[in-house]
Amino acid sequence: MSEQTKLCVVGASGLVGSSIVRAALERGYLVNGTLRNKNLPSKSTYLKQLAGGERLTLFDAEMADGASFEAPLRGADAVFIACLIPTYKGPSGMLAVEMDVERGYAEIIKPTVDGCLNILRSAQRNGLRNVVICSSTSSTNPSTPVPFKNEAEHWSDENEQCRVKKYTSATKTIMEKAARKFAEENDIRLSIILPTGLYGEAVLPEHMRHNPFAWLARAIDGGNPHHEKMPNSSVSMIHLRDLANLFLAAYENHNACGRYFGVWGSLHWKDIYAECQKILPNMRMPDPIAEPAVVPTGFDFSRRDSLGVNIRDFPTFLRQTIEWIQSKPFQ
């Protein structure tokens, strides 16, 4: 990697985007980061304070305005699109789950899909051939459940997702397919990373308002648990630093292309709480489930592991996350 290699991270102040910025700076890259308002001290100050922050240049950009990405993409060798965050409300404040299909598509799905394509068109105009997009495991749930999900073969049914008003999840499925089509038509090497459940060390104080940081902070302080009753479900997760390394590996490995799971694995909530209680023995626990526990989601990680990134296990990164929160990093 040349010290002059420049990467563009779209959504640089987000939880995933800021982690990619941190990892890229640590590896010596020049980084152009985009956010909606680069002059907000609550965002820019912490990004510029990262190790190597003198190699970070921030730009204002809005995904609805493709032209706003011309400057940050100019001269970059790759773009990491990490601004496509889940949207659960429309512009009027109406919840996505209350919308009919027509409104759900217009207000939840279309802005994200169009925004992604705007960025890709700007990348194509600037001659970029390397793109890595952050999506979600929610696009990999086949209609017929399978013991082990394979991201190369298994897709969610976007029509079914819309039928049951899961427009936020459908957005990821539709966006990925639109991005893949654009990449194939324009000779772009596209990788898509599929994360869920982000633990580790956040970059911005505002990230602490979101889970799992918020509920772990309450658990540390003896507050109410994340759930009153134990959910009979599983959840997938990963350490933010490992996730960022997957993004960079997908770029640096020139043979990498396509979809890659961005999770360590999946655990039932009862096992997540049990691990928490080992670290915080006095934490308040939710009411136990009475019925048999469902089997956690299974994954085929052969593609993820082909990227060569070491992924720490849940007990390790849970403890690291709790210890990091206890250190009061932003005080």
Q: What is the pLDDT of residue 3?
A: 59
What is the mean predicted confidence (pLDDT) over 153-181?
A: 93
In a domain, 217, yes or no: no
In this structure, is residue 61 part of a structural domain? yes
Whether 104 has a pLDDT exceeding 70, the answer reads yes
CATH number of domain containing 122:
3.40.50.720
Q: What digits encode the pLDDT tens for the residues 16-54?
A: 999 999 999 999 999 999 999 998 888 999 999 999 999
* 1 pLDDT higher than 70: no
* pLDDT average, residue stretch 212-236: 93
pLDDT band at 286 (very low <50, low <70, confident <90, very high): very high
Q: Which pLDDT value is given to residue 295? A: 93
Domain contains 47: yes
- Output the six-digit token pair for 251: 């770029």
What is the average per-residue pLDDT within 247-255?
Answer: 97
pLDDT digits (tens, 9 = 90+) for 78-88: 999 999 877 88
* pLDDT value at 2 more than 60: no
Please tell me the total count of domains within the chain.
1
Residue 301 has pLDDT above 80, yes or no: yes
Q: Does residue 189 have a pLDDT over 60? A: yes
Q: Which residues contact 46 (CB under 8 A, 6 or more apart)?
A: 18, 203, 204, 205
Q: Is residue 52 part of a domain?
A: yes
**What confidence category does residue 89 fall into, taking pLDDT thresholds of 50, 70 and 90?**
confident
Pairing between strand 189-195 and 258-262? parallel
Give the percent of the chain with pLDDT over 70.
99
User: Regarding beta strands 130-134 and 234-239, do their DSSP bridges make them parallel or antiparallel, or are they unpaired?
Assistant: unpaired
Give me the domain span that covers residue 76. 6-198+239-263+298-311
Residue 254 lies in a domain: yes
pLDDT at 119: 96
**pLDDT at residue 90 is higher than 60:** yes
Looking at 139-148, 233-242, 246-255, which range is the least confident one?
A: 139-148
